[in-house]
Amino acid sequence: MQEKNHSVVVIDDEESMRDSCRMILEKDGFLTETAEDGKKGLEKVKEMNPDIALVDLKMPGIGGLDVIEKIKEISPDTVPIVITGYATVESAVEAMKKGAYDFLPKPFTPEQLRVIIKRGLEKIKLFREAESLRKEKKLIEENFITMVSHQLRSPLVAIAQYFEVMLSGYVGEMSKEHKDMLSKARNRVESLLELINDWLDAARIDKGQLVEKFKPVSLHNILKKQIEFLQPIAEKNKINLEIEPPTGKSTIRGDKETLEQAFANLLNNAVKYNKPNGSVTISFREKDDCIITDIKDTGVGIDKKHIPQLFNQFFRVNRSEGKQGKGSGLGLSISKKIIDAHSGRIDVSSTLGKGSTFSVTLPKHKKATD
């Protein structure tokens, strides 16, 4: 096997072991370096970022287990493989826990060494392929987001604006039939725009990027603000919105903007799927190290059979009683994605015809200052 581009560092205090490994590996075309102890070995690993590090478990100075742990820190792509004359199940398990990929008991034949190295290289190959697929997927997603927002969203916004101008009578009078048709067309375009906006929101939520923006935020403040926004719609639909202030602090670590969006979706639903003269009540409770926000409504409720699909993208309950309302079926999936990114969860309890409670559990901020 000619693997010219692959490199191996052999870290072993036994000279004969280092020499024989070097001979076998160089013969197979590997760039090979050796080190007689952990300290020197780690320096070589740092210098070379080798594909594979063969590490003896029992060495004077830094022991093999610590060497493996450090390799993971200084060269995360290097695959550490343990070589040892004292192979026991315990030591193997311990080494695997520290990040070793495989185990080679001494004495071993050249063929056994080749097999182990080959397995390590396969792991590297799979890892690199997965990595490049991940990158490619990200690129496609980003391109798609740009494409959707520019090529689809922008013309739709323009169309909606033209409809608006025509419907307001600026370009001349229209017959009632014309107006009806035009306003139906405008409603359809607006629904499509809402769907695209929701979809763009969903596509943009990236856990890694969100976590970087985390700051202490007050859940009470977030929900108070959302209630203010929603009040006019609630009043129009004769729905009473109430918030019970938390007894303690309601500070968590999170991204304010996306959390507002997550709670806005839940509150919107609590109003949208409510009944006239119904109510929405928000309250807070504490459990272990978490704050639970309960959003309780006295609305139409959800059939038990639909609960497992509720957070799936585009899922909408088919409601025959005319309570379907407008929507993209993306709101709950977006809320879940956001709450998941905050290491939280959403639970639902509901009784058909009576109402639902959506409970959002989020880990409390340790140094709360709310």
Q: Which residues bind ligand ADP (CB under 6 A)?
A: 265, 269-270, 273, 297, 299-302, 310, 315-317, 327-333, 356
| CA proximity to 233, closest of 266, 260, 205, 267 | 267
Nearer to ligand ADP, 146 or 309 (CB): 309
AA identity, residue 363? P
Nearer to ligand ADP, 53 or 270 (CB): 270
Between helix 219-236 and helix 256-272 the angle, nearest 10°, is 30
CB of 302 to ligand ADP, least distance (A): 5
CB of 145 to ligand ADP, least distance (A): 20
Assess contact for 84 and 64: CB atoms under 8 A.
yes
Nearer to ligand ADP, 91 or 269 (CB): 269
Nearer to ligand ADP, 95 or 239 (CB): 239
Residue 353 CB neighbour total at 10 angstroms: 11
CB of 315 to ligand ADP, least distance (A): 6
Assess contact for 323 and 273: CB atoms under 8 A.
yes
| Alpha-carbon span 239 to 298, nearest angstrom | 10
φ, ψ dihedrals at 136, nearest 5°: -60, -40
AA identity, residue 269? N
Between helix 15-27 and helix 110-147 the angle, nearest 10°, is 60
How far is CA 57 from each of CA 24, 44, 48, 120, 168, rounded to the nearest angstrom? 21, 17, 21, 18, 81
Nearer to ligand ADP, 259 or 302 (CB): 302
CB of 308 to ligand ADP, least distance (A): 12
In the numeric block, the tokens 């798609």 are attached to 144
CB of 284 to ligand ADP, least distance (A): 18
Nearer to ligand ADP, 30 or 199 (CB): 199
Residue nearest to ligand ADP (CB): 327
CB of 236 to ligand ADP, least distance (A): 18
No. of helices (H) and no. of strands (E), the chain? 11, 12
Nearer to ligand ADP, 145 or 307 (CB): 307
